[in-house]
Amino acid sequence: MAYVAFLLGRATKGASPEERQRRELAEAQEIETAMANIPQSKLEEIDRLMADAKKIEAIKTLREATGLGLKLSKMAVEQRAPGR
């Protein structure tokens, strides 16, 4: 599995700027859709975990609540971080 992820990563490194932009837009839309469907109680829990400097736990909680992958969950949690 890790090897497949490695190959996919290598395949996208040489992507054109337009392709990277399309991929980033699709990722942003996926995050937005997932965040719109998450219960308020989970959002509050994620915010509390971030306030307690428990970023990894916040990412795990978001992944469980939304089904997003690790990368997108990390991006979403970081977007919710105070001071952003």
Cα 11 off chain centre by: 21
Average model confidence (pLDDT) across the chain: 86
Cβ pair 39, 65 in contact under 8 A: yes
Q: Does the pLDDT of residue 53 top 70, yes or no? A: yes
Residue 72, domain extent: 2-80
Count of domains for the chain: 1
- Enter the pTM of the model: 0.74
pLDDT of the residue at 29: 93
In the chain, what percentage of residues exceed pLDDT 70?
80
Pair 65, 76: CB distance under 8 Å: no
